[in-house]
C-alpha cells in the first residue's frame, strides 16, 4: 500500500491523472475500471487536458464502470452513463463501443450481471481500477453486510447511501433504490487500484479501511489485501492517518 496525502486538490487531481496517463502511454490498449460521483471529477478533467495537449490517446482503451442505477433511463442526467459521457467520454477519442457501463434497464438484471462479468473476463484483467469510498466503507455499491458478493450483482441501496446521493436529485423520492455493481471479487482482480478520498467527513472511515480490521462490515478494508493499492487523499481526508 502506498499512501499520498496532498495539500491541494489540484495536486491530487494531477497525480491521479498522471498515473492513468502514464499507464496508457506505456500500454495504449489498457483496460480501465472507472468510478463516478464527485470524487474523480477533477481527475477526469485533468485527463481531458492531457488529451487536448496531445499527451495521451484513448483510441485503444477499454473501460468498465463500477456500477449503474437500476431503472434510471440511460440518458437521464444522473445515470452513470450520462456522467461518464459528460465528464470524460465525450471529450476524448475513446471508442464508445469499448466503454462498458452496466445496463440498469435490462429486462433480466441477473442475466445482465452475468454478461457484464463475461465481458470483463474476455479482456483478461483490468489494468487500473479507480475507487472512491462511502461514509459506511462501501466500494462500488458493495454495502456493509455479514457477507459480500464476488461478482457483479444487483443491490438494494442502504438509506445512508441514498441520502449521500440525494444531492444529485430533486428529492429523496427520486433517488433510485437499487443498483448494479461490480462485486468485491471483480474489483480485487484489477492489477492496480487507486483509492481516491476527499474531505474531513471521510477521515475516520479512511483510517478504518486502511488500518482497521479486515471485515465485511467495512468492505473497503478488503483493499488492505491487494498487492498494488495506491491511496490518494487530501489533507482533510488523511488527517486521521497522521495523528
Question: Is the distance from CB of 100 to CB of 68 less than 8 angstroms?
Answer: no
Task: Report d(CA 83, CA 143) in Å as an integer.
Answer: 22
- Could you give the residue numbers annotated as active site? 67, 136, 138, 143
For 103, phi then psi, to 5°, come to -90, 100
Nearest to 204 by CA among 235, 172, 239: 239
Name the H helices within 130-211: 159-165, 184-188, 203-211
Question: Is the distance from CB of 148 to CB of 139 less than 8 angstroms?
Answer: no
Please give the angle made by the CA atoms of 104, 108 and 112, to the nearest 5 degrees.
Answer: 60
Task: Report d(CA 100, CA 88) in Å as an integer.
Answer: 13
Can you say how many angstroms the Cα of residue 212 is from the centroid of all Cα atoms in its chain? 22
Amino acid at each position: 500500500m502506498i499512501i499520498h496525502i496532498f495539500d491541494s486538490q489540484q495536486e491530487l487531481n494531477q497525480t491521479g491523472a498522471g498515473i492513468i496517463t502514464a499507464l496508457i502511454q506505456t500500454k495504449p490498449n489498457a483496460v480501465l475500471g472507472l468510478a463516478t460521483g464527485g470524487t474523480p471529477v477533477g481527475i477526469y478533467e485533468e485527463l481531458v487536458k492531457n488529451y487536448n495537449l496531445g499527451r495521451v490517446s484513448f483510441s485503444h482503451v477499454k473501460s468498465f464502470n463500477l456500477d449503474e442505477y437500476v431503472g434510471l433511463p440511460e440518458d437521464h442526467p444522473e445515470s452513470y452513463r450520462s456522467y461518464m459521457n459528460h465528464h470524460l467520454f465525450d471529450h476524448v477519442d475513446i471508442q464508445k463501443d469499448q466503454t462498458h457501463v452496466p445496463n440498469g434497464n435490462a429486462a433480466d438484471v441477473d442475466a445482465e450481471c452475468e454478461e457484464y462479468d463475461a465481458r470483463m473476463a474476455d479482456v483478461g484483467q483490468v489494468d487500473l481500477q479507480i475507487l472512491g469510498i462511502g461514509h459506511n466503507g462501501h466500494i462500488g455499491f458493495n454495502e456493509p453486510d455479514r457477507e459480500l458478493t464476488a461478482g457483479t450483482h444487483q443491490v438494494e441501496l442502504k438509506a445512508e447511501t441514498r441520502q449521500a446521493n440525494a444531492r444529485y436529485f430533486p428529492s429523496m423520492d427520486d433517488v433510485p433504490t437499487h443498483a448494479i455493481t461490480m462485486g468485491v471479487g471483480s474489483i480485487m482482480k484489477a492489477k492496480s487500484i487507486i483509492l481516491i478520498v476527499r474531505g474531513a467527513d471521510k477521515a475516520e472511515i479512511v483510517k478504518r479501511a486502511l488500518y482497521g480490521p479486515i471485515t465485511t462490515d467495512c468492505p473497503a478494508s478488503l483493499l488492505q489485501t491487494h498487492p498494488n493499492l495506491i491511496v490518494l487523499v487530501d489533507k482533510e481526508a488523511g488527517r486521521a492517518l497522521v495523528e
